[in-house]
Amino acid sequence: MQAIATSSVNAIDVNLPAEEGDPAADARLFRRCLGQYGTGIAIITGESDGRRAAVTVNSFSSVSLDPPLILWSIARTSRSFPIFTGGGRFAVNILSSQQMDVSRHFSSKIEDKFADSAWSPGAYGTPLIDGCLAHLECETHSLVEGGDHVIVIGLVKRASRFEGTPLLFSQGQYSIAESHPETSPTPEASGAMPDTTSEGTIVSQIFEVHNLLSSVFDEHRRAEGVDISVARVLACLYDADGLKADQLAAATYLGQRDTEDAVAELSRRSLLTNTGGSLSLTPAGRQVREAIKRRWQDFQQAQIAGIPEADLKSTIRTLSKLIDQNKTMQ
Ligand SMILES: Cc1cc2nc3c(=O)[nH]c(=O)nc-3n(C[C@H](O)[C@H](O)[C@H](O)COP(=O)(O)O)c2cc1C
């Protein structure tokens, strides 16, 4: 059967889709569309006949309050598939913003995922991972066929909540939650004047400015024809030529699939070569990376142009202090 090209990518125009096509013919397009829906991250843990299993998922969702039901889906290709579809117990471990490395660890293919992890058995013997925001200990309620996945519906027998903020995943990247600026009371509404000397205000502004600058710089990346995943792969390979796909996924903090998508996109555009698993940028790939770098430098210059030197120095001192004190806490 002849393959038909069904997808198309458009120049930037807010009234047009950035890309569109048939999801059955273009899995990457489909995944990128799904990635527009932000989720949390959970580790599903289980044990059957003395064998433990754990997978990182973002397919977790609530189903029902009465009875308390949740669902998630497992890929048929997962090594843990037989354990989780055997009808036994499992636990949902909802990750906190401090647990990005835990997510990466449990999504990897290492042999014993529990060997270097902090966990303890729950009330039903299922492994519960330390430091999570919530543990939901479940028994399997039902399994539903779902194409290349099986949907596992769990009846929650025990639920525990801990304090903290969630780890999020959207557009193929990990992120942390920040209240939408429009949900915070404005100084006028609260009757307070903006207090730029209060640490609370400075910290909120750092988050706000980070989000704003990231989304504004996104347009510069798109002008070079790359999204953030592709830009990260370009940046990593520019500095460390010859990485393998799994090293690249670790270095870019992208999931395995998003790294593979970015690599496929770059090689489709002849910006990357794969020699026996070692990935390198072509001269054209290096040029795109350099163009983004130049845009970043110009962008930074333009942002601070006109701000007095003394103000910049004092801001840098404050930011360095915040970085130092938090680095030592990690
Ligand atoms: C952010 C993220 C979300 C994922 N979500 C799912 C999911 O919902 N279902 C799934 O089967 N695999 C998902 N995976 C992939 C699995 O974590 C990975 O394939 C699995 O841990 C491999 O496990 P195995 O050792 O059983 O083969 C996800 C990976 C990441 C990084």
Quick one: pLDDT at residue 48?
A: 86
Quick one: pLDDT at residue 177?
A: 85
3-state helix, strand, coil in the chain (%, to 5): 40, 25, 35
| Nearest ligand 1 atom, CA 56 | 17
- Look-up of token digits 């970015």: 262
Quick one: pLDDT at residue 5?
A: 47
Q: For residue 201, give the amino acid letter.
A: T
Quick one: pLDDT at residue 9?
A: 62
Rounded distance between C-alpha atoms, residue 7 and residue 192, angstroms:
52
Quick one: pLDDT at residue 187?
A: 47
Q: Determine how β-strand 272-275 pairs with β-strand 51-57.
A: unpaired
Q: Which of 47, 52, 107, 257 to mutate to test the pocket of ligand 1 (most atoms within 8 A of CB)?
A: 107
- What distances in angstroms separate CA 271 from CA 18, 65, 87, 173, one per listed residue? 21, 50, 47, 22
SS3 string, 49-94, reads: CCEEEEEEECCCEEEECCCCEEEEEEECCCCCHHHHCCCCEEEEEE
Q: Which domains does the chain have, with CATH numbers?
A: 40-169 (2.30.110.10), 197-327 (1.10.10.10)
Quick one: pLDDT at residue 328?
A: 64
pTM attached to this predicted model: 0.74
Quick one: pLDDT at residue 258?
A: 84
| Nearest ligand 1 atom, CA 109 | 25
294 CA → ligand 1 middle, Å: 36
* pLDDT averages per 10-residue partition of the chain, 330 residues: 53 78 94 95 93 96 98 97 95 96 93 93 95 98 98 98 95 85 56 50 80 85 88 94 89 83 92 94 95 93 90 90 76
Protein residue whose Cα sits closest to atom 6 of ligand 1: 57
Quick one: pLDDT at residue 10?
A: 61
CA dihedral 173, 174, 178, 179 (to 10 degrees): 70
Q: Which of 51, 56, 79, 149 to mutate to test the pocket of ligand 1 (most atoms within 8 A of CB)?
A: 56
Quick one: pLDDT at residue 13?
A: 66
**Which stretches does DSSP call E strand in the chain?**
8-9, 19-20, 39-40, 42-48, 51-57, 61-64, 69-75, 89-94, 119-121, 127-129, 134-146, 149-161, 167-170, 173-176, 272-275, 278-281
Protein residue whose Cα sits closest to atom 18 of ligand 1: 107
| Nearest ligand 1 atom, CA 60 | 8
Quick one: pLDDT at residue 236?
A: 94
Protein residue whose Cα sits closest to atom 4 of ligand 1: 57
